[in-house]
Structures are given as structure tokens and as C-alpha cells.
Amino acid sequence: MITLLDYGAGNVRSVRNAIRKLGFTVKDVTCAADIVAADKLVFPGVGSFGTVMERLIRDGYDKALQERIRLNRPLLGICVALQALFDGSEESPGVPGLGVIPGMIRRFATPGLSVPQIGWNGILPKKDSPLLADYKGEKLYFVHSYHAEVDDNCDDWLLATTCYGSEFVSAVEKGNVTAFQFHPEKSGRVGLAILNNFLCRQEGLAVSGVPSRVEKGGTTSLAKRIIACLDVRSNDAGDLVVTKGDQYDVREQGEVRNLGKPVDLARRYYEAGADEITFLNITGFRDFPLEDQPMLEVLKRTSENVFVPLTIGGGIRSFTAADGRYYSALDVASEYFRSGADKISIGSDAVYEVERYLAEGVKSGTSAIEQISIVYGAQAVVISIDPRRVYVASPDDTPHAAIATRFPGPDGERYCWYQCTVQGGREGRDIDVVQLAQVCELLGAGEILLNCIDRDGTNSGFDLELIAQVKKAVHIPVIASSGAGRAEHFIEVFTATNADAALAAGIFHRHEVGIDEVKKAVADAGIEVRR
């Protein structure tokens, strides 16, 4: 029996599912006394530092956690839970942490680094721990903008470090209390093995090595991610299917293409080594997702067997239902997080919000991006952009951010800008990708999913000019999407641009190229990937 501290701040379902998958029963904390009394406690940290601390304090859980740690009762903290053990965080100035480990949590500040760190990185163990007994240098999943600094004050707690810009604390342990900055529940097989070590460990047998000082040397690096994308919608028979468009047209001879079942395909890609799975509910802009229960069900069922991050997009916006009840975008996103999503992606609504911002020049404070990012953290908010090329003879012919292109337009135009669209490419708006990406970053988005209508489904390779333009314009990670046709296209996108991840759909669905084949080719080209 494992006790789970779910304080309603995010995706705790994945942790719950991972524990169950390992054969344990999960019991929820219902009051502060449970925290002290639990045999083994898992404390997943989801959301911003301030939100986590506020909820802990509200229920008196902060004091109970401090008491449990003082008593050296088995505790596993994950992500922000590691950060909460420190004195405070730059993320939420003035909000005190649990103060168990001396020191502050700082934002990644190395120039040129994508922040948040999203993806798979290694760890450098600094002492022996039964929890890391199976760790053989594999990569684990991290997602965070803030980190604990390596500092002499926390030497007796230091279990592992990771390099991203500088070296930071990625695991702490003292006695029976352990916390990881990475997500074991999202780190595939190796993550589950680490989690299993905590669940199986006997109280009192915890300390296996003598705390040692930080060893110099060794390094880790963040891998480029390979993401499988499932465009999902109902077909004409009313079944929810994975479909795939050619330049966003998903019909073939009048019928919606059916490439398989969402839950089955997601599992197939997980087992094939995908670093993340993205679901796009492509008709979400016209349906209300909370009434569109099949998508929630898809997430719930997928998260039972898929232990890498899941992103869901489509229809994330505020909505007034037929009965007059108002749902904020945050309500919609929360339902997705509770159903197993780690990140949500916003398409059309982001375009409308950026238009509003550009017209008024001030943040509304109520946009979907701001609301979700404040509660769940920037790393949980992805902006899905659906741009289309607009050719011009000269950059002076448009107020938009035009680039010189190697692929001239139909009338020989040598410049183009990328127009943002809404409603799955159906409607173009007077706004370009650079405006959209920059304002979304300002509003609190943590990642860009950069599609390209011109390349979608063409197998002709990613639009490198588009990706380079957007990547240069923002500091948050950018996922290159649309057009992958061969393994070499992934090498190309990682060599010619600084894209943090590359996403593909058609080639994987049609079994034309395997995820392992892509990863092998990328690794052979000397680019870091998770194998």
C-alpha cells in the first residue's frame, strides 16, 4: 500500500498509474495525519512552486511533511517536490519552502539555453543509493525552468547532479527521504525501475553509502526529442480515429482517413521508443472537449500503459455550455491534466489572444495561456502554430516578418512570411509566426509546436527556414513539425536549426520509417538522442 499526496495541482494520474503498474495499491492522503502515518509516501510536485506551497500550507500538509522528514519516514518527492524541500524559489518570491535543505531554487540563466529544460537528460550519481541500483547511465525525463544549485550546504543531501547550462541538483537523499527533479513515472522502463526500488525498499535499510562530496568531472546532455503525433477526430461512422492530412486535408475520396485507434497507436509508439506522444483533437475548435468525453477516455486509457509525456491539444478555450454554465480554459485544461495529460497545447485561442494583446498592448491576465501557466507552470503550456507561407516580392511589401527563401513563390517571389491560421488552417489571420511565438512566450507559454501547412503530409522534409526563424525569436523550446519523410530529415532539422525536438505523424502511421530507425540515424550523425 502506497500513500499518494494528491493536492489537486496537476497530473498525479501518471504517478498513480505507474505505482499500480508496478503492482502496488494506492491510497490517497485525506488529512495531514495521513502524511505522518503513511508507510510509504509519494509526493509528486506538479505546478508552480507557489501553487504547490500554497496548497500544502492551506491543508496543513507543510508541517506534516516536515514532521515526516524529521522522523525519517520513507518519502519520495518528484520534480517541484524536490524544490519544495529548499528554503524558497525565484519562481515565487516571498513564498517560503519547507526549509529542510538550505538554499534557494534558481531559474536557468545560461544565455542561449532553451528554458524550460524539457526532455531527456542523464544524471551523475554522487553516492550509492538503493534507488539508483539499476541506473546505468540512461536518460530520464526532466521538465522544469528552475533548479537547485550545487552548494556545499546541501552536500549531505546530494544524490545526483545533471548538466544543463551549469550542473544542478537532480536528486537528493538523506536516510529514507529521497527526491528527484526528473519524473520517474515519465521516464519509461528505467524510470519505473527506479520507482519500483523506492516502493520495494524496506524501511531502515535505506542508507547504503556514505555521503560523499561532489565529485568533479563527468557530464550529461539533453537529448533531441523524437515525438509521435496522433491527429484524432471522429470519422463519418462516428468512431474516434487517428487520421492524417495532406496539407491538413484529412479526407480521401470524401472519407476521413482512418489510420488506427488512438490508444493502440500511442502504446505502439511508446514501445517503439517515442520520447513523447502528442494527441491533437483536430476538430476540437468546434466541439466542446468536456462534452467530447472520448478524448478524455483516450488519455485515461493511454496513461495506464504509456510512461512518457503525453500532450493533448484541440479545443482548449473558455466555453459556455448549452445550460449556461461557464467553463474557463483552465477548467478544460484541468480536466485534461486529471485525465493523464502532462502538457496541453493551444492553437486557435492563442492566435485570438495574441491579436487582442497586439491591439491593446497589455496582458489581459485572463487568457488561457496565462491562467494555465500560473497554475500548472509554463512547461505545461504548448502553443500549436499552424502557419502557411505568404510570398512577397520584397520584404517592404508586408509589415510582417519576412525572410529570404531558397524556395521562390509561384511568381518567382524570393521572400515569404508565415501567416498564422485558426480552426485547423481554415482561416488565415493578419499575424505572423514571430509575433505569435513571442507574445505567447511573454504570456507564459513554455513550448512551441511548430507545424507547417505547406509541408504537412508531403514527406518532403521540415521547413527549415520557418523553424530557424521561430527558434531565433524565442527562448522556449521549439518542436519542429510537418513534412518528415525520411530519417535524414531529422538529421537535417537538428543540424540546420536549433530545434529542440522533431515531430512526425504520417511516416510512423504508415510504417514507412520506424522510430528506432530515426533514432539510430540521428545518433549515428553524432546528435544526442535517447536510445
- Over its C-alpha atoms, the chain yields an Rg (Å, rounded) of 23
Going by C-alpha positions, the residue among 66, 154, 114, 132 that lies closest to residue 446 is 114
What does DSSP assign to residue 407? Answer: S
The footprint of ligand 1PR on residues 228-257 (CB under 6 A) is 229, 231, 244-245, 248, 250
Minimum distance from residue 442 beta carbon to ligand 1PR (Å): 19
- What backbone torsions phi and psi does residue 496 show, to the nearest 5 degrees? -85, -20
Q: How far apart are CA 312 and CA 345, in angstroms?
A: 6
Minimum distance from residue 392 beta carbon to ligand 1PR (Å): 24
Cβ-Cβ contacts under 8 Å for 387 (sequence gap 6 or more): 418, 419, 420, 421, 432, 433, 450, 451, 452, 453, 466
What does DSSP assign to residue 460? Answer: S
Q: Write the CA distances from 50 to 66, 182, 196, 255, 427, integer angstroms.
A: 17, 19, 29, 49, 39
Q: Tell me whether residue 65 or residue 329 sits nearer to ligand 1PR (CB atom).
A: 329
Out of 144, 183, 489, 509, the active site residue is 183
Joined together, the cell numbers standing for residue 61 give: 500538509
Going by C-alpha positions, the residue among 38, 42, 36 that lies closest to residue 65 is 36
Taking the mean position of all CA atoms in its chain, how far away is CA 59?
28
Joined together, the cell numbers standing for residue 347 give: 492553437
Instruction: Check binding of 387 to ligand 1PR (CB under 6 A).
Output: no
Q: Which of these segments, 171-179, 307-315, 387-395, 521-529, binds ligand 1PR (CB under 6 A)?
A: 307-315
Q: How many residues bind ligand 1PR (CB under 6 A)?
A: 32
Q: Tell me whether residue 126 or residue 233 sits nearer to ligand 1PR (CB atom).
A: 233
Instruction: Check binding of 125 to ligand 1PR (CB under 6 A).
Output: no
Contact pick of 14, 181, 339, 482 for ligand 1PR (by CB under 6 A)? 482
Cβ-contact 33, 11 below 8 angstroms: no
Cβ-contact 22, 192 below 8 angstroms: yes
Q: Which of these segments, 92-100, 158-166, 262-270, 308-316, binds ligand 1PR (CB under 6 A)?
A: 308-316
Q: Which of these segments, 44-52, 303-311, 327-335, 451-459, binds ligand 1PR (CB under 6 A)?
A: 451-459
Instruction: Check binding of 24 to ligand 1PR (CB under 6 A).
Output: no
State the binding string over 347-386 for ligand 1PR (x if CB under 6 A, else -).
xxx----------------------------------x-x
| Annotation marks residue 183 as catalytic | yes
| Annotation marks residue 147 as catalytic | no
Contact pick of 241, 316, 354, 529 for ligand 1PR (by CB under 6 A)? 316
Q: Which of these segments, 104-112, 293-301, 312-320, 332-340, binds ligand 1PR (CB under 6 A)?
A: 312-320
| Annotation marks residue 79 as catalytic | yes
Q: How far apart are CA 520 and CA 531, in angstroms?
A: 8
**Catalytic (active-site) positions:** 79, 183, 185
Contact positions vs ligand 1PR (CB under 6 A): 229, 231, 244-245, 248, 250, 280, 282, 284-285, 313-316, 345-349, 384, 386, 424, 451, 456-457, 481-484, 504-506
